[in-house]
Amino acid sequence: MKKSALFLFLLFFLTFHVQAQVIENYQSSIDFTKPQGFFNKIASAKVDLDILNFPNSEFRFEIPGEASVFFDGRLWMLTEKDTSFTISTKVIKDKYAEGTNKVRLEVLGPHISPENLRLYKGLFEDVSEPMLPFIASDTVFEKREITAFEDFFVLALVILMLLFAIFKVVFPTVLRFVVQPKTIFTAEDFSDSGSIQKFFSLDVLFYLFIVNLGVSLFGMLFFKISGLTFSVSLVESDINSLFFIWLMSAIVLALVSLFKFLFLKVLVFLFDLNKYDLAHFFYLLRIISISMLLLLGVSVYFYFNHREMLEILLIYGVKSFFWLYLMGVMLMFLIMVNRVPFKNYHLFAYICSAELIPFLIFVKVLTG
């Protein structure tokens, strides 16, 4: 009698608490694909679901956040956070089967992996509420911003790297001299043999044009991400207009560079510093070149991988560039104190006239 009562109690207990029965575990059948390439961070998972056998069963999904779920290439849902739900086999068959016995499930997202994506087929009536199918007519889609800037940015980077490669092949000696960071501290510009001797030469003008193209591209990226506009909007411009803006900006910067060099020649003449105009100009050009190369490289990485962090990065990058430029000016002053046979207060007056005062005026105009 006691054994019968115990058996009935256990049977009742198991019947009450057994809520799910797994018929098939798809974990070993899922084909996971890792992100391919440097800029692509989207992983994928694909599997064929059997909808012929056990028609009264359900599919249980456990999907990570920021994922897109597709049935036979048609969007089912988007997950903002980690989600688990069940869908009846009949719903999938009626919506997506179209006379076939299998349906291809595909999940795309940055967090897709065997550890956080699971799929089971079975009976899960009391586990969770079944999820309604995705119906496009009931969904309000947000208008997506379509802009040609990304295509322009990629093409501009390719053109810039191509020009840089051509310069490296044609003028390898000049390139090594200009972009080596150690020359900032060795002060080869202020020696008789180390400095570039001519401004109006093909190698110098070509390099100056490449640098201005890089600065112009970085500036356009900064204005695009920060949302700043002047007479034109980078978001609304087509790709031809963007290339025209890029080229014209580089030409304007090249003219500014030419004006800066002529301005230095006048100051060198007034302060009787002989030939140090070239040394001064190319020393600071080296600092600008190396800084812009680093800033542009880091910006490209974050633009294609973590765009949400790019605006803050660009703001701090621009501030860091200004401080690096000021540190370069002060370092140049210390080098000139040791290399130039001139009174220190005259050198300080020259540095203030040539760099510090124009720099402060430029920052004031830029910040308003």
Which tokens hold the place of 135?
A: 């119906």
Cβ contact 194:278 at 8 Å = no
d(CA 188, CA 236): 46
User: Element (H or E) spanning 60, and its range?
Assistant: strand 58-63
Threshold 0.85, pTM exceeds? no
pLDDT band at 13 (very low <50, low <70, confident <90, very high): very low
Share of residues in the chain with pLDDT > 70 (%): 76
Which tokens hold the place of 199?
A: 């401004």
Which tokens hold the place of 279?
A: 């040394």
Neighbours of 310 (CB within 10 A): 23
Q: Which CATH number is associated with domain 19-138?
A: 2.60.120
pLDDT tens digits, 103-156: 888 888 888 888 888 888 887 764 444 444 444 434 444 444 556 788 898 999
pLDDT tens digits, 315-350: 888 888 888 888 888 888 887 777 767 677 777 888
Taking each helix axis from N to C terminus, what angle separates 344-351 and 239-271, rounded to the nearest 10 degrees? 160
DSSP code, position 138: G
Question: Quick one: 74 exposed, middle or buried, by C-beta within 10 A (0-12, 13-18, 19+)?
Answer: exposed
User: In the chain, what are the domain boundaries?
Assistant: 19-138, 149-367
d(CA 99, CA 94): 9
